[in-house]
């Protein structure tokens, strides 16, 4: 039931230059604090919200003073399934737009799916379904289109597979087989044939 609730909330490069590189240290840089939900950081004030009116807070909104002295929301923590633990983290840029969104999908109390935004557009999505806090797959977007996906298939914290996408399809895949940071094998995917008239019987 909890997983369904979280999933419901989710609904609301150059190929030749591929190099082995470390994956980001964490999906969104919002590693949960050991402190209780709603604990402000230095300089923050917190506002608690009880959206389901059960007498317990399920959203914590953190703000700092802006240049004019008015409060500016910088982040939020949310308890989507009302179990008393945070499972959604939001961060906002200086203009108040959503910059980072993270979810705990596997019930371990840590963010393992993260989405980064620029000017309201998704630019990066990181998946971490492991136990060490490192993302295993990072996808990059331009406009609304997936253009590249980097994977760590051997779980050593470094990219070893690069996928390049075009028009919604994988165009080519590079794989580092010996861990030297170079692509050892390229797989070129043929383009799908253009639709044409149906053949005559």
Strands 169-175 and 145-151: unpaired
Token pair belonging to 78: 């949310």
Q: Note the pLDDT of residue 3.
A: 45
Predicted confidence (pLDDT) per residue in 182-196, tens digit: 789 999 977 666 566
User: What's the pLDDT tens digit per position in 2-46?
Assistant: 444 443 333 333 333 454 454 444 444 444 555 678 889 999 999
**189, 173 Cβ separation under 8 angstroms:** yes
Q: For residue 37, what pLDDT is reported?
A: 85
Quick one: pLDDT at residue 198?
57
Taking the CA of residue 188 as centre, how many other CA atoms within 13 Å lie in the half-sphere pointing to its CB? 4
Between CA 40 and CA 64 the distance in angstroms is 10
Q: Residue 109's closest CA among 135, 80, 136, 87?
A: 87
The residue ranges of the chain whose pLDDT is under 50 are 1-17, 19-20, 22-31
* Nearest in space to 101 (alpha carbons), one of 195, 9, 2: 9
Q: Are the C-beta atoms of 13 and 139 separated by less than 8 Å?
A: no
Considering the entire predicted model, what is its pTM? Answer: 0.73
């Amino acid at each position: 039931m909890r997983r369904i609730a979280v999933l419901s909330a989710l609904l609301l490069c150059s190929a030749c230059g591929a190099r082995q590189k470390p994956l980001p240290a964490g999906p969104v840089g919002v590693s949960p604090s050991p402190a209780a939900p709603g604990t402000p950081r230095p300089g923050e004030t917190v506002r608690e919200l009880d959206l389901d009116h059960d007498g317990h807070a399920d959203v914590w909104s953190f703000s700092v003073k802006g240049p004019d002295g008015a409060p500016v929301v910088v982040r939020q923590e949310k308890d989507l399934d009302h179990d008393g633990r945070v499972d959604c983290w939001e961060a906002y840029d200086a203009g108040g737009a959503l910059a980072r969104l993270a979810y705990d999908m596997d019930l371990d109390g840590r963010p393992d799916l993260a989405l980064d935004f620029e000017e309201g557009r998704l630019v990066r999505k990181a998946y971490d379904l492991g136990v060490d806090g490192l993302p295993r797959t990072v996808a990059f977007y331009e406009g609304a289109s997936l253009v590249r996906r980097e994977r760590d298939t051997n779980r050593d914290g470094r990219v070893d597979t690069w996928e390049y996408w075009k028009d919604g399809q994988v165009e080519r895949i590079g794989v580092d087989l010996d861990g030297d940071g170079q692509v050892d094998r390229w797989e070129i995917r043929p383009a799908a044939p253009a639709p044409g008239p149906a053949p005559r019987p």
